Amino acid sequence: MSLPILPLRSSMCGLAVALLLVAAVPASSPLDELKPLVGHWKAATASGKSMAVDYRLISNDTVLVEAYNAGSPRETMTVFHADGASLIATHYCAQGNQPRLRHAPSSKGLVFVFLDATNLPDPSASHLVRLELSFGPDGSLKRIETYRERGKDDVSTLVLHRE
């Protein structure tokens, strides 16, 4: 039994249609790794205080907003968005500065490192220089912040649970 040989023209049309279909499928966004964070999370601090962190998508699901210490006078916000094939996080700090961090490949989960900052009065003033986010086997979220002031790092860790 022999297989029919399609005319070249028909084969080329099929190839063109296949290429158009592939091109029409949107490429995955770097933000896709962060989308599972959407929701309400809580943690207890070392002093036993309750801490709330909310994540939500805005702008046609192209931006993830983190509201840290939600509802308090010292609420801060970190906004994550794609920058080409990478991710940028802009942290709106209660100290009044706005560090920008760029995603850095890591085996420790999602890691963002200092890129630059606005409204930083002096490079030695306290500001966020590193943010790590990773999921635990129990579905918890480990959030590690590193602030730098006068060349010294202060690292704090929160383990959050989805509510």
Which residue ranges make up each domain of the chain? 30-162
Would you state the pLDDT for residue 14? 43
Q: Mean pLDDT throughout 40-48?
A: 89
Stretch (H or E) spanning 17? helix 8-24
For residue 44, the SS3 value is strand
pLDDT at 22 over 80: no
- The DSSP 8-state label assigned to residue 73 in this structure reads T
* Span 76-134, pLDDT tens digits: 999 999 999 999 999 999 999 999 999 998 888 899 999 999 999 999 999 999 999 99
Nearest-CA neighbor of 143 among 80, 83, 82, 85?
80
Model pTM?
0.80
Q: What superfamily does domain 30-162 belong to in CATH?
A: Calycin beta-barrel core domain (2.40.128.20)
Beta strands in the chain (DSSP E): 39-44, 50-58, 63-68, 76-83, 86-92, 98-104, 110-118, 127-135, 141-149, 152-162
| Cα separation, 131 vs 100, whole angstroms | 11
Q: Mean pLDDT throughout 19-30?
A: 51
Do the Cβ atoms of 80 and 88 come closer than 8 Å?
A: yes
